[in-house]
Structure 1
Amino acid sequence: MEISDFSLPPLFLFFSMFFSIYIIGYFVVFRNWSPKTRPEASSCFISLAHGTPALCLAANSLLADSNRSFASPNTKQQNLVLEYSIAYFLMDLVHYIIFFPDDVLFIAHHLATLFVSLTCRYLVYHGAYAILVLLILAEITSACQNAWTLASARKNDVAFAAKLYGLLSPPFYTLYSIVRGLVGPYFVYQMCVFYGSGAAESTIPKWVWVSWIVVVVAAISASILWVSHLWVDLYRQRNRKLEKKTR
């Protein structure tokens, strides 16, 4: 046997990488943060390591595939991106199970996302185009969202964090609303039209693509509800500030 035969699977290597980043975040980068905020900050740390790189890798893998379609076979590069994303969600799922076991919504989100990615990568070997476009749409707001989340965690303790939180909120909410409220639903509509036509019957079983649609629609609906609450909260905060100034 050659030495290359003993190489570790990419999924294991990616998981080890995210685990190491999480440990560095928890015990080094955020060591002076409170026990309440350190886990959340460490989760943001691995999300930063996943989000923008995954977006770039996914976009590159799709552009390199001249035969991409909703039912096209996954390329090696696309499978690698799927494994990179799977490793991140597995690591973040472990984080939530350990530190926030009562956060059923996020745990369910991660499990559903893993189901979609795992079935695409290891069961049907087709459809990475759809899954990776959805990944791009999900991660295009990742960097801004993580910076906003970190600022939110310290806004009551650090003046700069409070200022950054205030500056980031409107543009982040706007971008998030456009992506999750307009672009995302339009792309899912295209998925429904394609898969509903039966064009993928020979490559992707009906129960698989139907489950993908259900998961994505549920995720987008939850995202729209979440950002709607943020907009309402921002509106209330602005009104309180105006009331204080007019008194």
Structure 2
Amino acid sequence: MDVLISGYRLLPHVFATFSVIYLIGYFVVFRNWSPKCRLDASSCFISLFHGTPAVFLAVAAILNQPVRGFASPNTDFQNLVLDFSIGYFTVDLLHYLIFIPGDYLFIAHHLATLFVFVTCRYLVAHGAFSILVLLVLAEVTSACQNVWTLARLRKAELSVAAKIHKNLAPPFYVLYTIMRGFIGPVFFYKMSTFYLSGKASNVIPIWVSVSWVIVVGGAILVSIMWISNLWLELFREENGEKKDR
């Protein structure tokens, strides 16, 4: 109960912090950008303050866990990391719901992610090890992705943005492919095999385990499709440049 109370006390502060960062991005950092780019850039801005810190926090929380396993009880440190991410995803979800309600894919992604984090943190209080490993694999590319996205938003207007976008794309795509296309699926296989076997059912209800497997599997599949399309786009652009020479 004390852990739940501490979480409910922490979440409002995390939510408020990311809200303030979003407003700083919108009204200060990107105030001269076009309205649409300004909104997207502000979303990237808060992501920059979440992604890399979340990776370091999650790694530290995993390494400091006395017993690591798919059904291990959450530590207080792991719960703190989950609250940190819940606060971020809540703010970014509101961004999409208010300003870009037609982006159903991102809204669904954020809702699914929040479902996994909230059930792990507040419903079952077990399984944070697997969730935080997935968080690390997902967010380790965050810094590259956000810089690449910001550059993409302005590449038509600024030559330096176009250059950053072009030069950053290949290493970002490679890193993303390794994390989401290879390491992620391998870890997902081990995780889903364990949960679907029912070995965690004494601490994590089977319906929660199955829902985690479905959500994570769907997210990995969408990520693979997304990066595949980006690779195809990059190859088409390079072929087009070669033909123009």
Calculate the TM-score normalised by the size of structure 2. 0.96
Deviation at 1:66, TM superposition (A): 1.9
Q: Tell me, yes or no, if the aligned pair for 2:7 and 2:80 is still in contact at 8 Å.
A: no
Counterparts of 2:168 and 2:127 in 1: how far apart (Å)? 35
Residues 9-28 of structure 1 aligned to structure 2 (within 5 Å): 9-28=9-28
What stretches of structure 1 move > 4 A for 4+ residues in a row? 5-8
Residues 100-119 of structure 1 aligned to structure 2 (within 5 Å): 100-119=100-119
Deviation at 1:199, TM superposition (A): 1.7
Q: 1:49-107 CA deviation, whole Å, 9 max, x = no partner?
A: 00000010010011011211100110000000000000000000000011110000000
Q: Which residue does 2:57 correspond to in 1?
A: 57
SS of the residue 2:35 aligns to? coil
Residues 135-146 of structure 1 aligned to structure 2 (within 5 Å): 135-146=135-146
Residues 1-247 of structure 1 aligned to structure 2 (within 5 Å): 9-245=9-245
User: AA paired with 1:26?
Assistant: Y
Q: Tell me, yes or no, if the aligned pair for 2:7 and 2:83 is still in contact at 8 Å.
A: no
Deviation at 1:6, TM superposition (A): 11
Counterparts of 1:195 and 1:219 in 2: how far apart (Å)? 17
Counterparts of 1:101 and 1:209 in 2: how far apart (Å)? 29
User: AA paired with 1:210?
Assistant: V
User: AA paired with 1:205?
Assistant: P
Counterparts of 1:75 and 1:47 in 2: how far apart (Å)? 25
Aligned length: 241
Aligned-pair Cα RMSD in Å: 1.4
SS of the residue 2:16 aligns to? helix
Q: Tell me, yes or no, if the aligned pair for 2:144 and 2:168 is still in contact at 8 Å.
A: yes
Q: 1:151-196 CA deviation, whole Å, 9 max, x = no partner?
A: 0000000000000000000111111111111000000101122123
User: AA paired with 2:174?
Assistant: T
Deviation at 1:7, TM superposition (A): 11
Uncovered stretches (5+) of structure 1, i.e. residues with no partner? none
SS of the residue 2:174 aligns to? helix
Calculate the TM-score normalised by the size of structure 1. 0.95
Counterparts of 1:244 and 1:161 in 2: how far apart (Å)? 22
Uncovered stretches (5+) of structure 2, i.e. residues with no partner? none
Deviation at 1:21, TM superposition (A): 0.1
